[in-house]
Amino acid sequence: MSRWVLLLRGINVGGKNKLPMADLKSLLAELGASDIETYIQSGNAVFSASGLRPQIFSKKLSKAISDIHGFAPQIIVVTAEGFIRSIEDCPFPKEDLSEKILHFYFLTEPALAPQKDKLNELKISSEQWALVDDVFYLYAPDGFGRSKLAAKAEKLLGVGATVRNWRTVTKLQTLI
Protein backbone atom coordinates (compact mmCIF):
# COMPACT_ATOMS: atom_id res chain seq x y z
CA MET A 1 0.00 0.00 0.00
CA SER A 2 1.41 3.40 -1.02
CA ARG A 3 0.99 6.83 0.55
CA TRP A 4 -0.40 9.67 -1.55
CA VAL A 5 -0.90 13.43 -1.24
CA LEU A 6 -4.11 14.95 -2.57
CA LEU A 7 -4.30 18.66 -3.45
CA LEU A 8 -7.62 20.20 -4.48
CA ARG A 9 -7.77 23.62 -6.03
CA GLY A 10 -10.21 26.37 -5.18
CA ILE A 11 -12.41 24.77 -2.54
CA ASN A 12 -13.81 26.51 0.53
CA VAL A 13 -12.54 29.89 -0.66
CA GLY A 14 -14.69 32.94 -0.02
CA GLY A 15 -17.78 30.85 0.65
CA LYS A 16 -17.60 29.19 -2.76
CA ASN A 17 -17.12 25.56 -3.73
CA LYS A 18 -17.86 24.32 -0.23
CA LEU A 19 -16.55 20.86 0.51
CA PRO A 20 -16.44 19.80 4.17
CA MET A 21 -13.37 17.72 4.92
CA ALA A 22 -15.61 15.00 6.41
CA ASP A 23 -17.28 14.69 2.98
CA LEU A 24 -13.88 14.56 1.27
CA LYS A 25 -12.76 11.80 3.62
CA SER A 26 -15.92 9.81 2.89
CA LEU A 27 -15.46 10.18 -0.86
CA LEU A 28 -11.82 9.14 -0.62
CA ALA A 29 -12.79 6.07 1.40
CA GLU A 30 -15.47 5.15 -1.16
CA LEU A 31 -12.75 5.25 -3.83
CA GLY A 32 -10.56 2.83 -1.85
CA ALA A 33 -8.38 5.17 0.19
CA SER A 34 -7.52 4.40 3.81
CA ASP A 35 -5.57 6.05 6.64
CA ILE A 36 -6.95 9.40 5.44
CA GLU A 37 -5.79 12.58 7.13
CA THR A 38 -6.80 16.08 6.05
CA TYR A 39 -5.14 19.39 6.77
CA ILE A 40 -7.09 22.64 7.01
CA GLN A 41 -10.20 23.26 4.93
CA SER A 42 -8.51 24.02 1.61
CA GLY A 43 -8.36 20.54 0.14
CA ASN A 44 -5.26 18.84 1.45
CA ALA A 45 -5.21 15.16 2.30
CA VAL A 46 -2.74 12.35 2.79
CA PHE A 47 -3.95 8.78 2.38
CA SER A 48 -2.98 5.21 1.58
CA ALA A 49 -4.14 3.21 -1.43
CA SER A 50 -3.09 0.21 -3.48
CA GLY A 51 -2.82 0.21 -7.25
CA LEU A 52 -3.88 3.84 -7.56
CA ARG A 53 -3.58 5.47 -10.96
CA PRO A 54 -3.51 9.22 -10.21
CA GLN A 55 -5.25 10.53 -13.34
CA ILE A 56 -8.10 8.01 -13.14
CA PHE A 57 -8.46 8.53 -9.38
CA SER A 58 -8.55 12.32 -9.87
CA LYS A 59 -11.28 12.06 -12.50
CA LYS A 60 -13.40 9.75 -10.33
CA LEU A 61 -13.02 12.01 -7.29
CA SER A 62 -13.79 15.13 -9.31
CA LYS A 63 -16.94 13.50 -10.70
CA ALA A 64 -18.04 12.37 -7.24
CA ILE A 65 -17.58 15.88 -5.86
CA SER A 66 -19.46 17.33 -8.83
CA ASP A 67 -22.34 14.87 -8.43
CA ILE A 68 -22.76 15.70 -4.72
CA HIS A 69 -21.64 19.32 -4.39
CA GLY A 70 -22.19 20.73 -7.89
CA PHE A 71 -18.64 21.70 -8.82
CA ALA A 72 -15.61 19.82 -10.15
CA PRO A 73 -12.35 21.00 -8.61
CA GLN A 74 -8.98 20.56 -10.22
CA ILE A 75 -7.27 17.70 -8.39
CA ILE A 76 -3.61 16.81 -8.21
CA VAL A 77 -2.53 13.48 -6.72
CA VAL A 78 1.16 13.08 -5.93
CA THR A 79 3.02 10.06 -4.61
CA ALA A 80 4.43 10.57 -1.12
CA GLU A 81 7.87 10.08 -2.62
CA GLY A 82 7.24 12.71 -5.28
CA PHE A 83 5.92 15.15 -2.70
CA ILE A 84 8.98 14.68 -0.47
CA ARG A 85 11.21 15.02 -3.53
CA SER A 86 9.57 18.40 -4.24
CA ILE A 87 10.69 19.53 -0.78
CA GLU A 88 14.19 18.14 -1.25
CA ASP A 89 14.46 19.77 -4.70
CA CYS A 90 13.49 23.18 -3.35
CA PRO A 91 16.37 25.46 -4.36
CA PHE A 92 15.86 27.95 -1.53
CA PRO A 93 17.68 27.55 1.80
CA LYS A 94 15.17 26.01 4.18
CA GLU A 95 16.68 27.64 7.25
CA ASP A 96 15.85 31.08 5.78
CA LEU A 97 12.20 30.32 5.14
CA SER A 98 9.22 31.53 7.03
CA GLU A 99 5.84 29.92 6.57
CA LYS A 100 4.35 32.33 4.07
CA ILE A 101 7.15 33.55 1.81
CA LEU A 102 7.79 30.34 -0.12
CA HIS A 103 5.09 28.83 -2.30
CA PHE A 104 5.01 25.58 -4.22
CA TYR A 105 2.93 25.49 -7.40
CA PHE A 106 2.17 21.82 -7.95
CA LEU A 107 1.64 21.51 -11.69
CA THR A 108 -0.80 19.20 -13.44
CA GLU A 109 2.09 18.21 -15.71
CA PRO A 110 5.60 19.48 -16.40
CA ALA A 111 5.67 22.94 -18.00
CA LEU A 112 7.27 22.23 -21.36
CA ALA A 113 7.19 25.79 -22.72
CA PRO A 114 7.17 28.24 -19.82
CA GLN A 115 7.45 31.91 -20.72
CA LYS A 116 10.61 32.48 -18.69
CA ASP A 117 11.26 35.98 -20.01
CA LYS A 118 7.80 37.14 -18.95
CA LEU A 119 8.16 35.43 -15.56
CA ASN A 120 11.38 37.39 -15.05
CA GLU A 121 9.76 40.65 -16.20
CA LEU A 122 7.05 40.33 -13.55
CA LYS A 123 9.45 39.42 -10.78
CA ILE A 124 10.44 42.23 -8.41
CA SER A 125 13.98 42.40 -7.06
CA SER A 126 13.20 40.56 -3.81
CA GLU A 127 11.45 37.66 -5.55
CA GLN A 128 13.03 34.51 -6.88
CA TRP A 129 11.57 31.58 -8.74
CA ALA A 130 12.63 28.17 -9.94
CA LEU A 131 11.01 25.45 -12.01
CA VAL A 132 11.97 21.87 -11.23
CA ASP A 133 10.09 19.10 -13.03
CA ASP A 134 6.42 19.60 -12.15
CA VAL A 135 6.86 22.14 -9.33
CA PHE A 136 7.26 25.90 -9.68
CA TYR A 137 8.79 27.50 -6.56
CA LEU A 138 8.13 31.13 -5.76
CA TYR A 139 10.04 32.93 -3.04
CA ALA A 140 8.08 36.14 -2.36
CA PRO A 141 9.32 37.82 0.84
CA ASP A 142 7.29 41.00 0.22
CA GLY A 143 4.04 39.07 0.16
CA PHE A 144 2.39 36.52 -2.08
CA GLY A 145 -0.84 38.51 -2.33
CA ARG A 146 1.01 41.56 -3.68
CA SER A 147 3.12 39.66 -6.16
CA LYS A 148 2.34 40.21 -9.84
CA LEU A 149 4.43 37.14 -10.57
CA ALA A 150 2.30 35.03 -8.22
CA ALA A 151 -0.86 36.21 -9.92
CA LYS A 152 0.29 35.36 -13.46
CA ALA A 153 2.68 32.44 -12.96
CA GLU A 154 0.22 29.69 -13.84
CA LYS A 155 -0.73 31.36 -17.13
CA LEU A 156 2.92 31.91 -18.04
CA LEU A 157 3.79 28.32 -17.17
CA GLY A 158 1.09 27.13 -19.55
CA VAL A 159 -0.24 24.33 -17.33
CA GLY A 160 -2.71 24.04 -14.48
CA ALA A 161 -1.47 24.35 -10.93
CA THR A 162 -2.49 24.52 -7.32
CA VAL A 163 -0.42 26.50 -4.82
CA ARG A 164 0.61 25.65 -1.26
CA ASN A 165 2.76 27.69 1.11
CA TRP A 166 5.76 26.34 2.98
CA ARG A 167 3.74 25.82 6.17
CA THR A 168 1.20 23.62 4.40
CA VAL A 169 3.87 21.69 2.51
CA THR A 170 5.79 20.88 5.70
CA LYS A 171 2.60 19.94 7.55
CA LEU A 172 1.65 17.53 4.75
CA GLN A 173 5.16 16.11 4.95
CA THR A 174 4.59 15.27 8.62
CA LEU A 175 1.27 13.59 7.76
CA ILE A 176 2.97 11.34 5.21
> What pLDDT is recorded for position 10?
85
The reply to whether 76 and 100 lie within a common domain is no
Strands lying side by side in the sheet with 44-49: 34-39, 44-49, 2-8, 75-79
The reply to whether 101 and 165 lie within a common domain is yes
State mean pLDDT over 65-92: 95
Which contacts of 95-98 are long-range, i.e. CB under 8 A and separated by 24 or more positions?
Answer: 97/166, 98/166
For residue 44, give the H/E element and its range: strand 44-49
What is the total count of domains within the chain?
2
Average model confidence (pLDDT) for the chain? 94
Residue 98 has pLDDT above 90, yes or no: no
> What pLDDT is recorded for position 94?
76
Q: What is the pLDDT of residues 118-171, one digit of tens each?
A: 999 999 999 999 999 999 999 999 999 999 999 999 999 999 999 999 999 999
**CATH number of domain containing 134:** 3.30.70
The reply to whether 6 and 67 lie within a common domain is yes
Q: What is the pLDDT of residues 139-152, one digit of tens each?
A: 999 999 999 999 99
Q: Name the residue range of residue 78's domain.
A: 2-82
> Can you give the pTM of this predicted structure?
0.93
Indicate the pLDDT class of residue 102, thresholds 50, 70 and 90: very high
> What pLDDT is recorded for position 75?
96
> What pLDDT is recorded for position 112?
94
**CATH number of domain containing 13:** 3.30.70.1280
The reply to whether 101 and 171 lie within a common domain is yes
Residue 12 has pLDDT above 90, yes or no: no
